[in-house]
Amino acid sequence: MSTTASKPVIVVGSGLAGLSAAHEALREGALVRLLDRAPKPGGNSIKASSGINGAGTRFQRALNIPTDDSFYADTVRSAGSRFTENNPPGIDRGSLVEILTSHSENAVNWLADELNVDLSVVAQLGGHSVPRTHRGGGDLPPGAAIVSALLNKMKANPNFTLENSAEVDKLLVENSGAVKGVSYRTSDGQMHELEGPVVFAAGGFAGDVHGLLAKYRPDLAGMPSTNEERPASHGLLSTIGAALVDMDSVQIHPTGFVLPKGAGTSYNIVPLKKEDASHKPADPKSVSTSQLFLAAEALRGEGGILLSGSGERFVNELNTRDVVSSAIMALPQSTDKSMRHWEVILLLDPGACEAAASHIKFYLWKGLVQKVKVRDLAPEIIASIDKYATTVSEHGEDPLGRKSFGHWKLPPGDANREEEVCVGTVTPVVHFTMGGVAFDAKARVLRSTDGGKLTPIPGIWAAGEITGGIHGANRLGGSSLLECAVFGRIAGTEAARSLIVTP
pLDDT in tens, 103-128: 999 999 999 999 999 999 999 999 99
Say if residue 303's pLDDT is above 70. Answer: yes
Say if residue 258's pLDDT is above 80. Answer: yes
Our measurement of the distance from residue 317's CA atom to the centroid of its chain's CA atoms, rounded to an integer in Å, reads: 18
Say if residue 266's pLDDT is above 60. Answer: no
Name 161's bridge partners.
Answer: 33
> What pLDDT, on a 0 to 100 scale, did the predictor assign at position 288?
46
Choose one of 430, 450, 472: the last residue of a domain.
430
What dihedral do alpha carbons 171, 176, 177, 179 form, nearest 10°?
-40
Look at strands 420-433 and 370-373 and give their pairing: antiparallel
Helix locations, 124-188, DSSP H: 142-155
> What pLDDT, on a 0 to 100 scale, did the predictor assign at position 1?
34
Looking at the structure, tell me whether residues 415 and 475 fall in a common domain: no
Say if residue 277's pLDDT is above 50. Answer: no
Annotated catalytic residue within 33, 93, 132, 300: 300
Q: Check if the beta carbon of residue 389 is closer than 8 Å to that of residue 374.
A: no
Look at strands 250-257 and 420-433 and give their pairing: antiparallel
Say if residue 249's pLDDT is above 60. Answer: yes
Phi, psi of 41 (to 5 degrees): -80, 165
Q: How far is it, in rounded angstroms, from Cα 460 to Cα 441?
A: 14
Residue 327 sits in which domain range? Answer: 252-430
Looking at the structure, tell me whether residues 261 and 199 fall in a common domain: no
Please report, for the domain that includes residue 422, its CATH number. 3.90.700.10
Residue from 68, 69, 128 nearest 474 by CA: 128
> What pLDDT, on a 0 to 100 scale, did the predictor assign at position 86?
73
Looking at the structure, tell me whether residues 416 and 488 fall in a common domain: no
Our measurement of the distance from residue 376's CA atom to the centroid of its chain's CA atoms, rounded to an integer in Å, reads: 35
Q: How confident is the model at residue 331 (pLDDT cuts 50, 70, 90)?
A: very high
300 catalytic per annotation: yes
Domains in the chain: how many in total?
A: 2
Burial class, 284, CB count within 10 angstroms (exposed 0-12 / middle 13-18 / buried 19+) = middle
Residue from 119, 177, 114 nearest 143 by CA: 119
Looking at the structure, tell me whether residues 421 and 461 fall in a common domain: no
Question: How many H helices and E strands in the chain?
Answer: 14, 22
Looking at the structure, tell me whether residues 119 and 170 fall in a common domain: yes
Instruction: Tell me 447's DSSP state.
Output: E
Please report, for the domain that includes residue 153, its CATH number. 3.50.50.60
Looking at the structure, tell me whether residues 301 and 348 fall in a common domain: yes
Say if residue 34's pLDDT is above 90. Answer: yes
Looking at the structure, tell me whether residues 161 and 24 fall in a common domain: yes
**CA angle in degrees (0–180, nearest 5) for 241-88-96:** 95
Looking at the structure, tell me whether residues 421 and 480 fall in a common domain: no
What dihedral do alpha carbons 204, 206, 212, 217 form, nearest 10°?
130
Name 3's bridge partners.
Answer: 501
Residue from 113, 149, 127, 114 nearest 53 by CA: 127
> Residue 148: which residues within 8 A CB-CB, separation 6 or more?
140
Looking at the structure, tell me whether residues 74 and 106 fall in a common domain: yes
Helix locations, 103-227, DSSP H: 104-109, 142-155, 212-216
pLDDT tens readout for residues 46-65: 999 999 999 999 999 999 99
Annotated catalytic residue within 23, 33, 217, 253: 253
> What pLDDT, on a 0 to 100 scale, did the predictor assign at position 38?
96
Q: How far is it, in rounded angstroms, from Cα 214 to Cα 488?
A: 28
pTM: 0.92
Residue from 333, 332, 331, 327 nearest 315 by CA: 327
Q: Check if the beta carbon of residue 123 is closer than 8 Å to that of residue 131.
A: yes
When comparing pLDDT for 207 and 451, which is higher?
A: 207
Say if residue 283's pLDDT is above 60. Answer: no
Choose one of 415, 430, 445: the last residue of a domain.
430
Q: How far is it, in rounded angstroms, from Cα 224 to Cα 430?
A: 6
Say if residue 4's pLDDT is above 70. Answer: no
Say if residue 67's pLDDT is above 60. Answer: yes
Name 424's bridge partners.
Answer: 346
Residue 296, classed as helix, strand or coil, is coil
HSE value, Cβ hemisphere, 13 Å, CA-based, for 402: 28
Burial class, 341, CB count within 10 angstroms (exposed 0-12 / middle 13-18 / buried 19+) = buried
Q: What value does the mean pLDDT of the chain take? A: 92
Looking at the structure, tell me whether residues 289 and 304 fall in a common domain: yes
Looking at the structure, tell me whether residues 243 and 264 fall in a common domain: no
359 catalytic per annotation: no
Q: How far is it, in rounded angstroms, from Cα 41 to Cα 14?
A: 5
Say if residue 452's pLDDT is above 90. Answer: no
Instruction: Give the H or E element holding residue 436.
Output: strand 436-438
Say if residue 135's pLDDT is above 50. Answer: yes
pLDDT tens readout for residues 363-420: 999 999 999 999 999 999 999 999 999 999 999 999 999 999 999 999 999 999 999 9
> What pLDDT, on a 0 to 100 scale, did the predictor assign at position 490?
99
Average pLDDT over residues 142-165: 97
Looking at the structure, tell me whether residues 222 and 311 fall in a common domain: no
When comparing pLDDT for 8 and 260, which is higher?
A: 8
Our measurement of the distance from residue 232's CA atom to the centroid of its chain's CA atoms, rounded to an integer in Å, reads: 17
Instruction: Tell me 111's DSSP state.
Output: I
- Cis before 399 (ω within 30): no
Choose one of 408, 430, 452: the last residue of a domain.
430
The length of the chain, given as a count of residues: 503
pLDDT tens readout for residues 122-131: 999 999 999 9
Q: How confident is the model at residue 261 (pLDDT cuts 50, 70, 90)?
A: very low
pLDDT tens readout for residues 482-491: 999 999 999 9
- Indicate if the alpha-carbon torsion angle 205, 208, 211, 214 is positive or negative: positive
pLDDT tens readout for residues 341-352: 999 999 999 999
Q: How far is it, in rounded angstroms, from Cα 458 to Cα 315?
A: 47
Q: How confident is the model at residue 269 (pLDDT cuts 50, 70, 90)?
A: low
| Count of other CB atoms within 10 angstroms of residue 214 | 13
Our measurement of the distance from residue 201's CA atom to the centroid of its chain's CA atoms, rounded to an integer in Å, reads: 14
Residue spans of beta strands (DSSP E) within 213-366:
244-245, 250-257, 305-307, 344-348
